[in-house]
Copies of this chain bind each other. A is one copy, B any other.
């Protein structure tokens, strides 16, 4: 078991603007498992995700399983062009990720089909977030980095997202998630909690 980790974080420390954000964190992410990162506002959850994806410089080790060469990400900034329409947004990323199927079923799934010709700037907050999940689905990455995936979503959508993550896990993927809401949805055995203070 210990050999087939997706992600192995050992003694990770990070400094931003000459301030130490966290010190010597260690945890592993195994397939079919999810790691919850817990901590107060400003404790460094987002920073941790950025360290794992090698955007910030850190000290310590982040080992990624061979063959995994990208991460899926959903965060506060959605990565949407305001002037793009939903359709052209999805079409662009579909091509980038080489997603073969049609994305209309995804839109259906998120209840966004009506908005296919609407520019992103006229979507509501939750709808934008759903769009960035649509991109995540098309990407088919093994490891998902989710920065407060369900904040600002309604109950139904929350459930959809949690089911989505569950499915992703059941297919052998893993996820690193932060959230201020209780996520009691997942099997306790599959959950690792990491506390930052």
Contact = CB atoms under 8 A, between A and B. Distances in A.
Interface of A: 16-17, 39-42, 44, 46, 76, 118, 122-127, 129-130, 148, 151-158, 180-181
Contacts of A42: 123-124, 126-127
Given A126-B41, A127-B42, A180 B152 contact: yes
A130 B42 CA distance: 11
A151 B154 contact: no
Given A152-B152, A180-B152, A180-B155, A130 B16 contact: no
Given A41-B125, A46-B125, A125-B76, A152 B151 contact: yes
Q: How many copies does the complex hold?
A: 2
Nearest to A147: B125
Nearest to A46: B124
22 contacts: A39-B154, A40-B126, A40-B154, A40-B156, A40-B157, A41-B124, A41-B127, A41-B129, A41-B152, A41-B154, A41-B157, A42-B124, A42-B126, A46-B124, A46-B125, A76-B125, A125-B148, A151-B152, A153-B180, A155-B180, A158-B180, A181-B181
A15 to B, nearest CB: 13
Given A16-B122, A17-B118, 13 more contacts: A17-B122, A39-B154, A40-B156, A40-B157, A41-B124, A41-B125, A42-B123, A42-B124, A46-B125, A148-B152, A151-B152, A152-B152, A153-B180
A46 B122 CA distance: 12
A114 to B, nearest CB: 9
A60 B124 CA distance: 23
Contacts of A180: 152-155, 158
Contacts of A126: 40-42
A71 to B, nearest CB: 19
The 7 closest A-B pairs by CB, nearest first: A41-B126, A40-B154, A42-B124, A151-B151, A151-B152, A41-B154, A42-B127
